[in-house]
């Protein structure tokens, strides 16, 4: 996540440079020649005359100083400063402009992702209401992280299919089954099942994780396998389509399947109650590594701006301070925002950190007090201070660290029990698995 401002060092250099050259003691041409040159009386006369005629007779350095004095909060302000800087230092000026463009492009992508997620939430809420889903699930959708939203979509889809099967009888089941890749004969074999049981077969809730090797690519992966020995392929809409493994050039990977079973046994013993699939532990670890990476940049922004840590409640901070604090949480706050608007935008970032803590909190070493703090954070109350936000980021790091350590512990046990390298690769959560995690979180 890129900072919404020039770095403190860059800004200080630009500000001081412009101020020095715009001062009464500035020497004309000094930047280009390196030799100080006192302005002559003819030059002063020419400058004054030009000003009287309505011309801008300021030096580029004076213009830069004036631009810096106007502020550096908005993209337009920062780009104007970089463009002016380029007039006497083309290389550095172009670097600043390119960095600003990259920052704005990244922010635009993040905004698009947030908008897509919001549309997804609204769609799930509407679908939940249409099938008479609970209000509790509707509230969960509002707070859910992206991975949680995908799981909720599967739940809703299964209930939609169950409703169709109930209302349309055998014809409905046949339609659902064919859409999922089953034959009419296979659907008829499921006629003794209840609607709920039928839905579990279609969605893959009733399935067994097994490993298969692709004979064309040589890669090995984990698939859900149903009672008809078909493998489940998840479609973009969240539905599961069942395929004959032979049609996908897949053959059973016996040793890897055995290792998967052992991994799941260890998960039942060591993970939170109800967690049975090591794949879920692996995905949590992958999310944790991403969270630690993002949070390292968040803490760096806070470290670069120590003054905001001593601030009071969000409602007592200036908009300028909230802009910097928002950057630490990945939230863009316009310089034109009012204090109230800035606080509401800040709430989005605080909620995101609270969601991270809740996502990794189950089964970790978090205390009851920690969980309560995460709950407050997810509510994004205006009583939070900048120091509270730092504490929340570090608490999210602790939760992420616990998720990684759980995953690493199970993986180490599998390695000690001579699991195949192909099996271990299936559950790799990061390019490398460092024993020292200090580079990922604040001590």
pLDDT digits (tens, 9 = 90+) for 345-398: 776 666 666 666 666 654 444 455 545 555 544 444 546 676 777 777 787 788
The token pair at 395 is 């608490």
For 328, residues 6+ apart whose C-beta sits below 8 A from its C-beta are: 298, 299, 301, 302, 349, 389, 393
Picking from 372, 279, 285, 388, the residue whose alpha carbon sits closest to that of residue 328 is 388
For residue 255, name the pLDDT band (cuts at 50, 70, 90): very high
Residue 139 has pLDDT above 80, yes or no: yes
Lowest-confidence segment of 22-26, 214-218, 277-281, 301-305 by average pLDDT = 22-26
Which has more confidence, 246 or 107?
246
**Which DSSP symbol is given to 230?**
P
* pLDDT tens digits for range 65-76: 777 777 666 778
For residue 232, name the pLDDT band (cuts at 50, 70, 90): very high
Residue 113 has pLDDT above 70, yes or no: yes
Q: What is the pLDDT of residue 414?
A: 93
Mean pLDDT, residues 426-434: 68
Mean pLDDT, residues 17-38: 40
Q: Write down the mean pLDDT value for the chain.
A: 75
Q: What is the pLDDT of residue 269?
A: 87
Residue 12 has pLDDT above 70, yes or no: no
Q: What is the pLDDT of residue 243?
A: 94
Mean pLDDT, residues 111-127: 87
How much of the chain exceeds pLDDT 90, in percent?
A: 19
For 21, residues 6+ apart whose C-beta sits below 8 A from its C-beta are: 30, 31, 59, 61, 62, 64, 65
Q: What is the pLDDT of residue 205?
A: 84
Q: Cα(202)–Cα(161) distance, rounded to whole angstroms?
A: 9
Three-class secondary structure assignment of 70-131? HCCCCHHHHHHHHHHHCCCCHHHHHHHHHHHHHHHHHHHHHHHHHHHHHHHHHHHHHHHHHC
Q: What is the pLDDT of residue 195?
A: 84
């Amino acid at each position: 996540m890129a900072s919404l401002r020039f770095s403190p060092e860059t800004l200080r250099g630009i500000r001081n440079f412009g101020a020095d050259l715009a001062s009464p003691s500035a020497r004309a041409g000094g930047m280009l020649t390196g030799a100080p040159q006192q302005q002559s009386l003819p030059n002063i006369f020419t400058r004054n005359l030009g000003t009287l005629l309505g011309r801008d007779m300021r030096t580029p350095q004076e213009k830069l100083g004036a631009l810096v004095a106007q502020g550096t909060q908005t993209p337009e302000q920062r780009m104007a400063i970089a463009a002016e800087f380029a007039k006497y230092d083309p290389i550095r000026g172009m670097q600043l402009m390119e960095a600003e463009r990259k920052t704005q492009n990244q922010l635009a992508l993040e905004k698009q992702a947030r908008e897509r997620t919001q549309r997804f939430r609204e769609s799930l809420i509407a679908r939940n209401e249409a099938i008479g889903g609970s209000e509790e699930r509707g509230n969960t959708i509002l707070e859910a992280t992206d991975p949680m939203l995908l799981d909720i979509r599967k739940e809703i889809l299964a209930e939609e299919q169950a409703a169709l099967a109930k209302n349309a009888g055998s014809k409905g089941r046949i339609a659902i089954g064919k859409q999922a890749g089953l034959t009419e004969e296979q659907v008829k074999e499921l006629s003794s099942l209840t609607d709920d049981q039928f839905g579990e077969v279609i969605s893959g809730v009733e399935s067994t994780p097994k490993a298969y090797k692709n004979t064309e690519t040589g890669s090995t992966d984990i698939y859900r396998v149903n009672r008809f020995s078909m493998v489940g392929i998840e479609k973009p809409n969240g539905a599961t389509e069942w395929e004959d493994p032979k049609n996908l050039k897949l053959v059973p990977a016996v040793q890897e399947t055995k290792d998967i079973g052992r991994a799941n046994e260890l998960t039942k013993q060591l993970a939170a109650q109800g967690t049975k699939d090591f794949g879920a532990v692996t995905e949590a670890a992958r999310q944790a590594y991403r969270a630690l990476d993002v949070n390292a940049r968040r803490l760096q922004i806070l470290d670069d701006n120590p003054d905001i840590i001593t601030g009071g409640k969000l409602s007592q901070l200036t908009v300028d301070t909230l802009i910097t604090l928002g950057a630490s949480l990945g939230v863009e706050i316009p310089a034109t925002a009012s204090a109230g608007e800035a606080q509401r935008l800040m709430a989005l970032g605080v909620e995101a950190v609270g969601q991270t803590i809740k996502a990794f909190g189950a089964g970790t070493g978090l205390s009851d007090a920690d969980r309560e703090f995460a709950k407050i954070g997810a509510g994004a109350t205006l009583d939070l201070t900048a120091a509270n936000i730092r504490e929340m980021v570090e608490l999210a790091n602790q939760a992420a660290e616990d998720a990684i350590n759980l995953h690493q512990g199970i993986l180490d046990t599998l390695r000690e029990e001579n699991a195949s390298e192909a099996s271990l690769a299936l559950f790799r959560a990061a390019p490398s698995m460092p024993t020292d995690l200090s580079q990922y979180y604040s001590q």
